[in-house]
């Protein structure tokens, strides 16, 4: 958002656009606060302050922390799925393809968004209501991730062994993501991805 | 602890033994509270109450939550390592061996102890002091888990590719553990273990 000559832009944005922009800022701030400060710190007022949004405006959009967290999860899962799908066209053909697909899968689990998700996940482990709410979202995302990875690695294969190898790959990616939360694990991760990809490529052939 | 004829046993236990028993109960209770109620709930007084230990006695052993959590992590990592090492002798030789080793590795990450560790891990993500304390413990445990799995799968092999395959297997095990925190994932997990074990056995040969 910049300023146009002679005018203040923000207040000229149609109400609907301003409302959407506020919502986006709150969601981005939720990711940020969860990933850097953890679940306990991520209250609507802290998130609003970090977003530069008044507490009243934040509560107008999201009356409870749960509603904000759910909106954040929905958008995050959508973004991660879209990003992986958009990357489809840039995947190389030939010998480097498997490693490129595995790297893409691991990237899903090693960014700021995954660190934020992990905080929600961890809170849900002891909060049955939150768990019931996020389980179907998580399952839908897991299915999408699996479908995309299957498509990229094995086209329309219906071989159950291939299906499960792709599951194992996503489990490995999730485990690498968890290992990365305490300290930067990127050097080791790169080697593990290369080794896994070699074995996976051989198994797929 | 039972009662002997004509006497109250508890108060006859030497002071040192009673003290050790109290400590053990507090540590067991910490695992229990963390895994079922999460990090925020796991205060010294809640843990003491669940253990049936007075708050004063608990604070005598563990003046702060941090000291209790560290003692719990130390003991948990020791137990997990010992359990895996003790299982060494019962591993089958021949074709079922790889799957037995992979299953053992996955079991480390799917029990109550891992669910408790995950809560500490997740809290440490936004607590630099806690992170600095648990990182060396976690690294020591990761090295022990790797060494044991290497030993069981590949004897004294020093092949770097085997080394990394074992790392990848432990990452997959960790990812399977994370997938199990929201809902029972055991049926899918069994299939993933079987599929990966087949691929791993072929790669090791």
Average pLDDT, integer, range A145-153? 93
Are A199 and B165 within 8 A, CB to CB?
A: yes
Q: What is the 3-state secondary structure (H, E, C) of chain A?
A: CCCCCCCCCHHHCCHHHHHHHHHHHHHHHHHHHHHHHCCCCCCHHHHHHHHCCCHHHHHHHCCCHHHHHHHHHHHHHHHHHHHHHHHHHHCCCCCCHHHHHHHHHHHHCCCHHHHHHHHHHHHHCCCHHHHHHHHHHHHHHHHHHHHHHHHHHHCCCCCHHHHHHHHHHHHHHHHHHHHCCCCCCHHHHHHHHHHHHHHHHHHHC
Report CB contact under 8 Å: B122, A199.
Answer: no
The set of long-range contacts for B164-168, using a CB threshold of 8 Å and a minimum separation of 24, is: B164/A191, B164/A192, B164/A194, B164/A195, B165/A195, B165/A199, B165/B200, B165/B203, B165/B204, B167/A188, B167/A191, B167/A192, B167/A195, B168/A172, B168/A192, B168/A195, B168/A196, B168/A199
pLDDT at A121 over 60: yes
pLDDT at B11: 60
Distance from CA of B23 to the nearest CA of A (A): 25
Q: What is the mean pLDDT of residues A58-76?
A: 96
A195/B165 touch (CB, cutoff 8 Å), yes or no: yes
Segment A69-89 mean pLDDT: 91
Judged by CB atoms closer than 8 Å, whether chains meet at A179 and B179 is answered as no
Return the residue in A43, A127, A182, A202 with the most chain B beta carbons within 10 A, the one to mutate for interface testing: A182
- Who among A135, A179, A199 is closest to B183 (CB)? A135
What is the pLDDT at residue A83?
86
Q: How confident is the model at residue B145 (pLDDT cuts 50, 70, 90)?
A: very high
Cβ distance of B174 and A175 shorter than 8 Å: yes
Min Cα–Cα distance to chain A from B50, Å: 16
The complex's ipTM? 0.88
Q: Which of B126, B16, B31, B10 is nearest to B74 (CA)?
A: B31
Q: From the list A123, A173, A195, which residue is nearest B164 (CB)? A: A195
Query: Looking at residues B136-158, what average pLDDT do you find?
Result: 92
In chain A, pLDDT over 90 holds for what percent of residues? 78
Question: Chains A, B: CB contacts under 8 A, how many?
Answer: 137
Q: What is the pLDDT of residues A10-58, one digit of tens each?
A: 556 788 888 899 999 999 999 999 999 999 999 999 999 999 999 999 9
Q: Which residues of B touch A202 (CB under 8 A)?
A: 202-203
User: Inter-chain contact B174–A170, Cβ cutoff 8 Å?
Assistant: no
Q: Cβ–Cβ of A138/B188 closer than 8 Å?
A: no
For A172, name the nearest residue in chain B, comparing CA atoms only.
Answer: B172
**What is the nearest CA distance from A33 to chain B, expressed in angstroms?**
10
For B39, the closest chain A residue by CA position comes to A123
Highest mean pLDDT among A85-89, B8-12, B125-129, B165-169: B165-169
| pLDDT at position A10 | 54
- Taking CB atoms and an 8 Å cutoff, what residues of chain A touch B170? 175
Q: How far is B127 from chain A (nearest CA, A)?
A: 8
Nearest CA in chain A to B131: A182
The tokens describing B102, both together, are 């992979």
CB contact under 8 Å between A179 and B195, yes or no, is: no
Position with higher pLDDT, B120 vs A88 = B120
pLDDT number for residue B182:
85
CB-based contact A191 B123, cutoff 8 Å: no
Residue B114 confidence (pLDDT): 94
- Structural domains in chain A, CATH included, are 10-63 (1.10.10.60), 65-204 (1.10.357)
Nearest Cβ partner of B171 from A134, A161, A179?
A: A179
Quick one: average pLDDT of B4-26? Answer: 75
Residue A11 is predicted with a pLDDT of: 59
């Amino acid at each position: 958002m910049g300023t146009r000559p002679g005018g203040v832009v923000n207040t000229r944005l149609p109400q609907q656009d301003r409302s959407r922009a506020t919502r986006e800022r709150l969601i981005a701030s939720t990711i940020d606060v969860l990933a850097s400060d953890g679940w306990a710190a991520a209250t609507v007022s802290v998130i609003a302050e970090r977003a530069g949004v008044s507490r009243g405006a934040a509560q107008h959009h999201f009356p409870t922390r749960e509603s904000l967290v759910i909106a954040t999860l929905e958008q995050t899962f959508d973004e991660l799925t879209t990003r992986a799908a958009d990357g489809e066209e840039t995947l190389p053909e030939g010998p480097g393809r498997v490693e490129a697909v595995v790297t893409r899968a691991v990237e899903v689990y090693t960014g700021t968004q995954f660190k934020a998700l992990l905080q929600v996940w961890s809170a849900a482990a002891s909060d049955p209501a939150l768990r019931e709410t996020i389980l179907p979202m998580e399952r839908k995302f897991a299915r999408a991730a699996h479908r995309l990875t299957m498509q990229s690695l094995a086209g329309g294969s219906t071989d159950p062994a291939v299906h499960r190898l792709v599951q194992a790959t996503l489990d490995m990616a999730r485990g690498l993501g968890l290992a990365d939360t305490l300290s930067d694990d990127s050097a080791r991760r790169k080697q593990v991805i290369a080794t896994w990809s070699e074995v996976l490529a051989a198994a797929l052939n």
